[in-house]
A and B are shown apart, each in its own frame.
Chain A
Amino acid sequence: MTFTEYLTRNYDNLLELGLEHLNLVLISMGIALVVGLPLGIVAHRNKLLRNPILSTAGFFLTLPSLALFAIFIPVFGIGAPPAVAALSLYALLPIVSNTATGLASVSPAVVKASQGMGMTGYQRLLRVELPLAWPVILTGIRVSTQVVVGIAAIAALVGGPGLGTEIFRGLRSQGNASAPNLVYGGTLGVIVLALLLDAAFVLIRRLTISRGIR
């Protein structure tokens, strides 16, 4: 069976796996954002906590992905939950560090002027600092997403959903004539998904970054 034949026959299956994969990425990124943005803000505002936060977030990225997935099996069992937990941790560092860096790059004059006009600390954060840091933060989210899309394929090893299942099915059936097709099919799916997400980020960038700072 040629690769083209495989694709035409398995189109539905790959699409379904792709959507599972996307779902896994989105949920993990959602959790990483909810945790990462506040941590980044704290890291920017509190000099004492800055290094502990950044190095902890960095630590997770140094762990081998398989080990990180495995760590969560005793806690969450097999399937999607340990995958989500591990992926969220992987996504954390670029979000946290870019949030902190982005906030630090906001012009001190702008912050001083905002304060001098009578904005409260909270208003300053929401109306001035975060919007100005947003391009850098968004870049962090984009990098995280790319990392997570790739690593999510390994989630199949802990019974997780997504395109990884196709890849590992192919790897397990070594010697079978259709095995390479499965591996290539899953990989192609991951690449397409990554490209689509990247395109989505280009659009988000256009829509959410003020013309004044583009």
Chain B
Amino acid sequence: MTTTDTLTQADPARSGAKPMIELVGLTKRFPGTAEAAVDGLTLTVDEGEITVLVGPSGCGKTTSMELINRLIEPTSGRILIDGKDMTHTNPDELRRHIGYVIQETGLLPHRTIAQNVGTVPKLLGWDKARIAARVDELLEMVGMDPATYRGRYPKELSGGQRQRVGVARALAADPPVMLMDEPFGAIDPITRERLQNEFLRLQQQVRKTIIFVTHDIDEALKMGDRIAVLRNQSHIAQYDTPENLLTSPADDYVSDFIGTGASLKRLNLSRVRDIEMATDAPTASVSAPVAEVRAALLASSWTSLLLLDAAGRPARWVTSRDLARADQGAVLAEVGLPVEAIVEPHATLADALDELIASNVGCTVVVDGSGAYQGIVDLETIMTVVRTVRDEYERFHLAQKLAQQPADGQAR
């Protein structure tokens, strides 16, 4: 019983989900080349999931994607979308029902943002009022004020904004399926991080079936519900969830591709809200009497105490030496160290660790949406998580092995 429960919990995606994109033996041989660019790619993507195709450059991942909306016509094999064979339908018609985002965005420079976002609805013959309403709705959705940006031209936007418009444009006619070819590849790291997060939040809302191409394993681990690691000719080395990819890579190729630091990467998969924070850190109000603050610090096993402001937001870290200075007349709100490492519960453990390392006190303060203190993440908390995750997966794979044996026994 327990074993079955663990299995379904660890792999919920496969149960009950409907396949949305099915690629069957998809092959592309360009004229005059000995090897096929894509050789017999077979892959099923469930509805509402993001599947990432990741691999080194030249492995055929972009070609594979362009076979799906038939920008490149497959030599053989079949493409099924929502159970319907799309291999021989009108390609233009097919593409109007598949959202498409590319790295260079490909926004039409001579058209306004509104016209760009409304491209596919216009091709589908929607009336003007409906297109205008949809454009405004989408711009809102990607976090751009319609009144400000509607009439602008692509060259008047930053790279990040252009990519947002690219996503809005792909979503315009509400296609069930989206193809995204390195959509955040040409953007600076900070903006990329933000766009990735925004997109994941958006995906929570729209639940599209997405195939996402990238060469960046970290992006794949972050964005993917499932990841297909590709080797030459789009051969699938492993098709699995991010967790399984990190804990049990199928072979050396996959583990090489994931690279060193798989444990560190795993920190990207856990969020602060999912772990047990330390809540026993001593706290006191900035306006409290020094004696009371000292009592709180002495009562705990900690060497520093967190001062909170009137709204419960972290203000400063103080040690007993700082309190001594406060005794000599220094204002409590000015002694000690400012609190620099602060994260919200939806931050990943990697974010928390990053803050922690950069901070001056060796721990990260977790605050809620309004900035009020919730708890502390320190190195020990993170180490515990890494150990637990590793143990859990070892148990899971052991359980999987054991589960197969009795089944064999029954067959005999």
- A132 is contacted by which of B92, B110, B155 (Cβ under 8 Å)? B110
* Proximity string of chain B (314-337) to chain A, C-beta cutoff 8 Å, 1 when within and 0 when not: 000000000000000000000000
Contact between A109 and B102, CB atoms less than 8 A apart:
yes
A213 to B111, CA, bound (A): 9
Contact between B153 and A212, CB atoms less than 8 A apart:
yes
User: Using Cβ atoms and an 8 Å threshold, which residues of chain B touch A118?
Assistant: 92-97, 120, 123
Q: Does A115 contact B (CB under 8 A)?
A: yes
Expressed in whole angstroms, the minimum distance between the Cβ of B125 and any Cβ of chain A is: 12
Contact status of A112 and B119, CB under 8 A, knowing A212-B154, A213-B109:
no
- A109 is contacted by which of B93, B96, B106, B111 (Cβ under 8 Å)? B106
Interface centre among B94, B100, B155 (most CB of A within 10 A): B100
Contact between A119 and B105, CB atoms less than 8 A apart:
no
* Proximity string of chain A (112-133) to chain B, C-beta cutoff 8 Å, 1 when within and 0 when not: 1111111110010000100110
- B100 is contacted by which of A111, A113, A120 (Cβ under 8 Å)? A113
Contact between B92 and A114, CB atoms less than 8 A apart:
no
Contact between A117 and B110, CB atoms less than 8 A apart:
no
Q: Does A172 contact B (CB under 8 A)?
A: no
Residues B162-186 near A (CB distance < 8 A): 169, 179
* Proximity string of chain B (283-295) to chain A, C-beta cutoff 8 Å, 1 when within and 0 when not: 0000000000000
Contact between B105 and A131, CB atoms less than 8 A apart:
no
- B111 is contacted by which of A112, A120, A123, A212 (Cβ under 8 Å)? A212
Contact between A117 and B95, CB atoms less than 8 A apart:
yes
User: Using Cβ atoms and an 8 Å threshold, which residues of chain A touch B106?
Assistant: 107, 109-114, 116
Q: Does B63 contact A (CB under 8 A)?
A: no
Residues A23-49 near B (CB distance < 8 A): none
A116 closest partner in B (C-beta): B100
Count how many chain B residues have C-beta atoms less than 8 Å from C-beta atoms of the other chain.
Answer: 28
- B108 is contacted by which of A110, A116, A211 (Cβ under 8 Å)? A110
A109 to B71, CA, bound (A): 13
Expressed in whole angstroms, the minimum distance between the Cβ of A130 and any Cβ of chain B is: 10
A117 to B69, CA, bound (A): 9
Q: Does A173 contact B (CB under 8 A)?
A: no
Contact between A131 and B110, CB atoms less than 8 A apart:
yes
A117 to B123, CA, bound (A): 9
Contact status of A113 and B111, CB under 8 A, knowing A119-B92, A211-B153:
no
B110 closest partner in A (C-beta): A210
Residues B118-163 near A (CB distance < 8 A): 119-120, 123, 153-155
Expressed in whole angstroms, the minimum distance between the Cβ of B255 and any Cβ of chain A is: 34
User: Using Cβ atoms and an 8 Å threshold, which residues of chain A touch B241?
Assistant: none
Q: Does B376 contact A (CB under 8 A)?
A: no
A115 to B92, CA, bound (A): 8
Contact between A113 and B107, CB atoms less than 8 A apart:
yes
User: Using Cβ atoms and an 8 Å threshold, which residues of chain B touch A113?
Assistant: 100, 102, 104-108
Interface centre among A110, A114, A118, A119 (most CB of B within 10 A): A118
- A107 is contacted by which of B93, B96, B104, B112 (Cβ under 8 Å)? B104
Expressed in whole angstroms, the minimum distance between the Cβ of B174 and any Cβ of chain A is: 14
- A117 is contacted by which of B105, B119, B153, B154 (Cβ under 8 Å)? B119
User: Using Cβ atoms and an 8 Å threshold, which residues of chain B touch A116?
Assistant: 69, 71, 95, 100, 102, 106, 179
A114 to B108, CA, bound (A): 8
Contact between B93 and A132, CB atoms less than 8 A apart:
no
A128 to B71, CA, bound (A): 17
Expressed in whole angstroms, the minimum distance between the Cβ of B312 and any Cβ of chain A is: 49
A212 closest partner in B (C-beta): B153
User: Using Cβ atoms and an 8 Å threshold, which residues of chain B touch A110?
Assistant: 106-109
A117 to B97, CA, bound (A): 8
Residues in chain A within 8 A of chain B (CB atoms):
107, 109-120, 123, 128, 131-132, 210-213
Q: List 7 A-B contacts (CB under 8 A).
A: A109-B106, A112-B106, A115-B95, A117-B100, A123-B123, A210-B111, A210-B153
Residues in chain B within 8 A of chain A (CB atoms):
69, 71, 92-97, 100, 102-112, 119-120, 123, 153-155, 169, 179
Beyond known contacts A110-B106, A118-B97, A131-B110: 18 more, CB 8 A cutoff: A107-B104, A109-B103, A109-B106, A112-B106, A113-B105, A116-B71, A116-B95, A116-B106, A117-B95, A117-B119, A118-B123, A119-B92, A123-B123, A128-B108, A210-B153, A211-B153, A212-B110, A213-B155
